[in-house]
A and B are shown apart, each in its own frame.
Chain A
Amino acid sequence: MPFKLLPRLLVLFCLSLLILVLGLLLGSVNLPLEAIVSVLSGQGAPLHKMLILELRLPRVLAAFATGGLLAVAGALMQVLLRNPLADPYILGLSGGAAVAALLTMLAGLGVFWVSSAAFTGALLSTFLVFGLAYGSGQSSATRLLLTGVVVASGWGALISFILATSQAQQLPGMLYWLMGDLSHAPNPLIPWVVLLVVLCLLIPLGRTLNVLARGALQAAALGVSVQKVELLIFGLAALLTAIAVTLAGSIGFVGLIVPHLMRMLFGYDQRILLPASALAGGSLLVLADTLARIIIAPQQLPVGVITAMLGVPVFLLLLYRSNR
Chain B
Amino acid sequence: MRLKISLPFVFLLWLVTNLAYAAVEVTDDSGQLVHLAKPAQRIISLSPHLTENLFATGAGDLIVGTVEYSDYPAAAKQIPLIGGYNQLDIEGILALEPDLILAWHSGNPLAQVERLAGLGIPVYYSEPRSLAGVSHELRQLGRLTGREATAEQAAQAFDAGAEKLKKRYAQQREVRVFYQVWEQPLITLNGEHLISEGLSLCGGVNVFADLKQLVPVISREAVLEQDPEVIMGGGIKEGEGEKDPAWLIHWQKFTAMQAVKANKLYFIPPSLVQRPTPRFLEGTQIMCDKLQQARNH
Contact = CB atoms under 8 A, between A and B. Distances in A.
Contacts of A29: 221-222, 224-225
B154 to A, nearest CB: 26
A168 B213 CA distance: 17
Interface residues of B, number: 36
Contacts of B122: none
A173 B184 contact: yes
Interface residues of A, number: 34
Interface in A146-182: 164-165, 167-169, 172-173, 176-177, 181
Contacts of B209: none
B246 interface: yes
A168 B86 contact: yes
Interface in B184-224: 184-187, 208, 211, 213, 216-222, 224
Contacts of A108: 236-237, 240
A248 to B, nearest CB: 12
A184 B236 CA distance: 15
B163 to A, nearest CB: 30
A49 interface: yes
B182 interface: yes
Interface stretch (A262-270, A278-286, A293-301): A293-301
Contacts of A54: 253-254
Contact of A299 (B184, B213, B236): B213
Nearest to A299: B216
Contacts of A95: none
Contact of B224 (A55, A184, A293, A299): A55
Contacts of A176: 184-185, 217
Contact of B218 (A111, A299, A302): A299
Interface core residue of A168, A169, A177 (most chain B CB under 10 Å): A169
Nearest to B185: A176
Nearest to B244: A110
Contacts of B107: 168
Contacts of A297: 219, 222
Contacts of A167: 69
Nearest to A173: B184
Nearest to A183: B185
Given A28-B225, A183-B186, A298-B211, A50 B256 contact: yes
Interface in A251-284: none
Interface of B: 69, 84-87, 107, 181-187, 208, 211, 213, 216-222, 224-225, 227, 236-237, 240, 246, 253-254, 256-257, 270, 274
25 contacts: A28-B222, A28-B225, A29-B224, A29-B225, A47-B227, A50-B254, A50-B257, A55-B221, A110-B236, A110-B246, A114-B184, A169-B274, A172-B185, A173-B182, A173-B184, A183-B184, A183-B185, A183-B186, A183-B220, A297-B222, A298-B221, A299-B216, A300-B185, A301-B217, A302-B185
